[in-house]
Chains A and B, each alone.
Chain A
Amino acid sequence: MKAESSSKMKSRTYDMAVIGGGAAGLAGAVKAAELGMDVVVLESGERIGGIPMQCIHPGFGNFYYGENLTGPEFSERLIEKVKLTGIKCYTHAHVEGIRHVSDTENMVSVVMPAGITQIRAKTILYAAGARERHAYEIGITGDRVSGVYTAGEAQTLMDIYGIMPGKSVVIIGSGDIGLIMARRFALEGADVKAVVEMLPYPGGLQRNVVQCLEDFGIPLLTSHMVTRIVGKKRVERVILAEVDESFRAIKNSEKEIDCDTVALAAGLVPNIGKLREADIDIDSSTKGPVVNEYMETSLPGIFVAGNALAINDYVDYAAEQGEQAAIGAHLFIEGNMPSDWKPIRKGENIRLVFPHHISGGRDVKIYARVKKPVRDAVVEFPEIDKRVRKRAVMPGEMIIVNLKKQETAGIDELTLRCADGN
């Protein structure tokens, strides 16, 4: 935008600036608009819709829409609503920084092809997603050659650009992304040599292990890690080793797999660089911000949702969190945000749990992950005698506990634990 409209933008105060036009951001923006708020969406990429736009497989929307959709179908529904509600969306809008001026004023510095601008907003919904872990941070040594991709990058190449990364593939990580990419490669005719997993069990949903690996005869190597990538110009092979209980390579257990492609699905990290600069509290287990039940961070009026908050199993959760954030932002602007917060603590076998604080004044959904798998598990909040029995819990599958308003009234704090039910 030229100087004129940019100054217009400066003088305007939005009720909510949404950073990130993926599922969490769009669902939050739509909800906020439905609540009568003046919203702007800032998306760094060339279009809104987020990562589901490149996920051509089904499995999206079972919870949020009660239908099994593909990624693009899921996003298109949100995009349609964004259009209907007339929400202003800027693409190629890169957020340079966020300044929390006061509890009712935030300034977002944005770079766009139209110019640089400052957007003033009473609240912010930060929904910038996650980034993928790369080969260096997980300690893979060897040659720095072509043919090494993160799973998401390989997916972008295949399903946005229509390019085949390679023909014989080793996938590192058996989370859902790794499993789905194994199938994706196989469907395009690649020889998927193995999916390599450090844990003694698959990281992703059982459903995906069956549909993506077993149905295609792709071997899953659990308790293994890729230690080296070898090649002159392009990947020629990987060296892998068995790992012990503390995930260290066992000596003399090395073997080689010839391949020309390595796809890394070694986990996601919340993409919160700009928030970190704004000095908010971070949870070292989620690697995302500490939030209350409205997904509000330690800075009043700054909300976070989706994978920027914590890595979610389903895009549905990201969208739900975006909605909660919008409801929170609305309360905040009206001056009705609760001020008395009760902590939710991690008890036995709980690796992470969020939201980190609840008000006790309404129904709330708790998201958690266990440290270790348990069969016949009991997931419980002992303080209020709330118990949920589960046939099995796995670190790779989030535990959801819905707490009713009446269950949490009058409590000081809650502890979530997960024990063996026998």
Chain B
Amino acid sequence: MKKSVAIIGGGIAGCAIARVLSKYDLDIHLIEKEADVGWGATKANTSIIHPGHEEDAAIHPLRAKFCVEGNRIWRKWAEEMDIPVSWPGELMIALDDGGMETLEHYLKLGEKNGVEGLEIMGREEIKKLEPNVNENAIAALWAPAAGLIEPWEACIALAENAADNGAKMHLNTEVKGIAVGDGKLRGLETNRGFMKVDVAINAAGLFADEISGMAGIDDFKICPRKGQYYLFSDDAMPKVKRIVHMTPTEKTKGVYAVTTVEGNLMLGPTAEDLDFDEKEERSTTEEGLDYIWENARKFLASLPPRNKVSKMFAGLRPEPPDGKYIIRAYESPWGFVNVAGIRSPGLTAAPSIAEYVAKLMEEKLDLRMAEKEGWNPFRKGMKRFSRLSDSEKQHLINRNPQYGNVVCMCKEVTEGEVVEAIERIRKLGAGITMDSIKFRTLAMFGECQGSFCRSRIASIISREAGIPLWQVSLKGDGTEYGIGDIKVLQRREKDEG
């Protein structure tokens, strides 16, 4: 009998693990409580693939190793799974002598970690690489290996590829308890019933401490650390050519300025430690946003006007005790594996963490990790109508006229793409929500933030999913577009009144 493995958590770590484990002759189950993958810590991320010069291997050996390796693996994975990435390189800016010392510190760390191409440069050279850098910059550490990726896109790609290779997806599924007997893992209690599994890998992000506690391992707590961001509209100028940030502090790598893979200037994050019970607190605040603005002005020459902001958002990163990753297979209960506290550089590290987990399973759990035949490393991304040539566009429309119906004007997203996204969402077993369409098509991501197209997209969902328009949700239960049909509501009121 094949061993069955449940991965709890459909974030970047869980999805990477699912993808790597789908190579082997195992019965893989990915369990996610939200309607879609990547909606936890993954979604609100600075989206950087770090080179690895900011990790001190003496203090955080795992973080340093996974970061450097992850940076390398992502290059291959992005190609295999058609994930949009860019490699603009990163400038760590020093504004004073203290900053200068910091640069040298990180140069040494980086060299120790085997990060290639690091170089400290003066103002003139910085200007050549990044015109939008502040006049006060005295020097910078240049790390050419730094890249950018859309984290949610990466997460969806990994999940789709894992599913193509036989991994079973369980969205809207929440683990409520873990059954243990005779020192061994027996299975998972979920809101959808009991699931008998041999191995459970806890990649539950912010909630990894709670899941671990269910297995009887309660020696750590995960602290939610809030990060707020500004995202600007497509035409907001000036942008940055490189990933730019200031010398980091102990707590955080500081405020970054990046031009995302989709071409939008993004500033952030903050680093605000919340209470342990504030794991749903994702509000933006004036103070937090002002902090970002003030800090970005310190290292950038100029910022776009604030009315060019297309979105302010915030996410929570899972912060483990002392910032240390908790990646362990336990003797008791046998079959339980923690992949917890995957804080920065978690996005970068995810592929390497996944490969490490596969090794753990072989070495610590004595699982026979036989590679199965016909594993397919490739996955095709969504068609992006706006990026096609005229002849490709015409070809697509000839095949399906829905690709000639532009529904989101800002991002030029067609009905065909929305329908394709719905098919992909169905294949994953995810919820057909406006957000899951948004992250797959970029519809509603543009200048108008959906004021024109939200009703059009909701209509397509309503038609394809066969649910009333008002029941179409933004991001799952409780976030419906409306409260009902106007006249039905009024009749009901009259009857009751």
Chain A interface residues toward B at CB < 8 A? 44, 92, 94, 96, 111-116, 131-132, 134-139, 141-146, 149-150, 152-153, 156-158, 160-167, 188-189, 227-228, 230, 232-234, 260, 273, 276
Tell me, yes or no, whether B465 is within 8 Å of chain A by CB.
no
B286 in contact with A141 (CB, 8 Å): yes
**Which 9 A-B pairs rank lowest in CB-CB distance, beginning with the nearest?**
A94-B406, A233-B478, A146-B479, A113-B404, A113-B401, A150-B451, A163-B482, A134-B449, A146-B474
Chain B interface residues toward A at CB < 8 A? 235, 280, 282-286, 289, 306-313, 385, 390, 393-394, 397-398, 401-402, 404-406, 409-410, 412, 414, 447-452, 454-455, 459, 469-470, 473-475, 477-487, 489-490, 493
When distances are taken between beta carbons in the complex, the residues of chain A under 8 Å from B410 are: 273
When distances are taken between beta carbons in the complex, the residues of chain A under 8 Å from B450 are: 153
A–B pairs, 26, beta carbons within 8 Å: A94-B409, A111-B397, A111-B414, A113-B397, A113-B404, A114-B404, A116-B393, A131-B447, A132-B451, A135-B449, A136-B310, A141-B289, A142-B283, A144-B313, A145-B474, A145-B479, A146-B473, A153-B454, A157-B482, A162-B486, A162-B487, A163-B485, A164-B489, A188-B490, A232-B280, A234-B479
* Closest beta carbon of chain B to A287's beta carbon, Å: 10
A116 in contact with B473 (CB, 8 Å): no
When distances are taken between beta carbons in the complex, the residues of chain B under 8 Å from A165 are: 481-483
When distances are taken between beta carbons in the complex, the residues of chain B under 8 Å from A96 are: 412
* Closest beta carbon of chain B to A299's beta carbon, Å: 19
Q: Which of A141, A163, A233 contacts B479 (CB 8 A)?
A: A233
* Closest beta carbon of chain A to B308's beta carbon, Å: 7
Take A131-B451, A136-B309, A273-B447 as given contacts and tell me if A141 and B486 are in contact as well, using a CB distance cutoff of 8 Å. Answer: no
B451 in contact with A115 (CB, 8 Å): no
* Closest beta carbon of chain B to A339's beta carbon, Å: 32
When distances are taken between beta carbons in the complex, the residues of chain A under 8 Å from B308 are: 137
Take A113-B401, A134-B448, A146-B473 as given contacts and tell me if A161 and B455 are in contact as well, using a CB distance cutoff of 8 Å. Answer: yes
Q: Which of B310, B394, B412, B473 contacts A94 (CB 8 A)?
A: B412
B490 in contact with A141 (CB, 8 Å): no
Q: Which of B289, B394, B473, B486 contacts A115 (CB 8 A)?
A: B394
A157 to B311 Cα, complex, angstroms: 23
Q: Which of A44, A114, A137, A150 contacts B309 (CB 8 A)?
A: A137
A233 to B481 Cα, complex, angstroms: 12
A137 to B477 Cα, complex, angstroms: 27
Take A92-B404, A156-B455, A273-B447 as given contacts and tell me if A188 and B473 are in contact as well, using a CB distance cutoff of 8 Å. Answer: no
* Closest beta carbon of chain A to B431's beta carbon, Å: 13
A131 in contact with B452 (CB, 8 Å): yes
Take A142-B283, A162-B486, A165-B483 as given contacts and tell me if A115 and B307 are in contact as well, using a CB distance cutoff of 8 Å. Answer: no
A158 to B477 Cα, complex, angstroms: 22
A162 to B487 Cα, complex, angstroms: 8
When distances are taken between beta carbons in the complex, the residues of chain A under 8 Å from B405 are: 92, 112-113
B470 in contact with A164 (CB, 8 Å): yes
A164 in contact with B486 (CB, 8 Å): yes
* Closest beta carbon of chain A to B233's beta carbon, Å: 8
A227 to B286 Cα, complex, angstroms: 9
When distances are taken between beta carbons in the complex, the residues of chain A under 8 Å from B404 are: 92, 111-116
* Closest beta carbon of chain B to A246's beta carbon, Å: 15
B448 in contact with A115 (CB, 8 Å): no
A260 to B484 Cα, complex, angstroms: 14
A115 to B398 Cα, complex, angstroms: 7
Take A165-B482, A188-B490, A228-B283 as given contacts and tell me if A111 and B310 are in contact as well, using a CB distance cutoff of 8 Å. Answer: no
Question: Known contacts A44-B406, A163-B485, A233-B477; can you find 13 more A-B pairs with CB under 8 A?
Answer: A44-B409, A111-B414, A113-B402, A113-B405, A114-B401, A132-B448, A132-B451, A134-B448, A138-B307, A142-B283, A146-B474, A189-B490, A233-B478
When distances are taken between beta carbons in the complex, the residues of chain B under 8 Å from A233 are: 477-479
Take A94-B406, A157-B455, A162-B486 as given contacts and tell me if A139 and B401 are in contact as well, using a CB distance cutoff of 8 Å. Answer: no
Among residues of A, the one whose C-beta sits closest to the C-beta of B397 is: A115
When distances are taken between beta carbons in the complex, the residues of chain A under 8 Å from B390 are: 116
* Closest beta carbon of chain A to B419's beta carbon, Å: 13
B397 in contact with A116 (CB, 8 Å): yes
B482 in contact with A188 (CB, 8 Å): no
* Closest beta carbon of chain B to A53's beta carbon, Å: 13
A188 in contact with B486 (CB, 8 Å): yes
When distances are taken between beta carbons in the complex, the residues of chain B under 8 Å from A141 are: 283-286, 289, 312
A156 to B459 Cα, complex, angstroms: 12
* Closest beta carbon of chain A to B459's beta carbon, Å: 8
A163 to B289 Cα, complex, angstroms: 35
A111 to B235 Cα, complex, angstroms: 22
When distances are taken between beta carbons in the complex, the residues of chain B under 8 Å from A132 are: 448, 451
* Closest beta carbon of chain B to A165's beta carbon, Å: 5
B483 in contact with A160 (CB, 8 Å): no
Among residues of A, the one whose C-beta sits closest to the C-beta of B483 is: A164
When distances are taken between beta carbons in the complex, the residues of chain A under 8 Å from B451 are: 131-132, 134, 149-150, 152-153
A189 in contact with B409 (CB, 8 Å): no
A152 to B447 Cα, complex, angstroms: 16
A146 to B476 Cα, complex, angstroms: 10
A143 to B313 Cα, complex, angstroms: 8
B481 in contact with A157 (CB, 8 Å): yes
When distances are taken between beta carbons in the complex, the residues of chain B under 8 Å from A135 are: 449
A83 to B309 Cα, complex, angstroms: 42
When distances are taken between beta carbons in the complex, the residues of chain B under 8 Å from A146 are: 473-475, 478-481
Take A189-B493, A232-B280 as given contacts and tell me if A161 and B393 are in contact as well, using a CB distance cutoff of 8 Å. Answer: no
A143 to B451 Cα, complex, angstroms: 18
A157 to B447 Cα, complex, angstroms: 21
Q: Which of A146, A149, A158 has the most CB of B within 10 A?
A: A146
Q: Which of A137, A227, A273 has the most CB of B within 10 A?
A: A137
A184 to B313 Cα, complex, angstroms: 31
A134 to B454 Cα, complex, angstroms: 13
A144 in contact with B286 (CB, 8 Å): no
* Closest beta carbon of chain A to B465's beta carbon, Å: 16
Among residues of A, the one whose C-beta sits closest to the C-beta of B282 is: A143
A200 to B333 Cα, complex, angstroms: 66
B483 in contact with A136 (CB, 8 Å): no
When distances are taken between beta carbons in the complex, the residues of chain B under 8 Å from A144 are: 282, 313
Among residues of B, the one whose C-beta sits closest to the C-beta of A153 is: B451
When distances are taken between beta carbons in the complex, the residues of chain B under 8 Å from A113 are: 397, 401-402, 404-405
A300 to B481 Cα, complex, angstroms: 44
When distances are taken between beta carbons in the complex, the residues of chain B under 8 Å from A153 are: 450-451, 454-455
Among residues of B, the one whose C-beta sits closest to the C-beta of A165 is: B482
When distances are taken between beta carbons in the complex, the residues of chain A under 8 Å from B455 are: 153, 156-157, 160-161
B469 in contact with A161 (CB, 8 Å): yes
When distances are taken between beta carbons in the complex, the residues of chain A under 8 Å from B448 are: 131-132, 134
When distances are taken between beta carbons in the complex, the residues of chain B under 8 Å from A160 are: 455
A164 in contact with B482 (CB, 8 Å): yes
Among residues of A, the one whose C-beta sits closest to the C-beta of B410 is: A273
When distances are taken between beta carbons in the complex, the residues of chain A under 8 Å from B409 are: 44, 94
When distances are taken between beta carbons in the complex, the residues of chain A under 8 Å from B397 are: 111, 113-116
Q: Which of B308, B385, B401 has the most CB of A within 10 A?
A: B401
When distances are taken between beta carbons in the complex, the residues of chain B under 8 Å from A157 are: 455, 481-482
* Closest beta carbon of chain A to B193's beta carbon, Å: 25
Among residues of A, the one whose C-beta sits closest to the C-beta of B408 is: A94
When distances are taken between beta carbons in the complex, the residues of chain B under 8 Å from A116 are: 390, 393-394, 397, 404
* Closest beta carbon of chain B to A9's beta carbon, Å: 13
When distances are taken between beta carbons in the complex, the residues of chain B under 8 Å from A152 are: 451
When distances are taken between beta carbons in the complex, the residues of chain B under 8 Å from A92 are: 404-406
* Closest beta carbon of chain B to A156's beta carbon, Å: 5
A135 to B309 Cα, complex, angstroms: 10
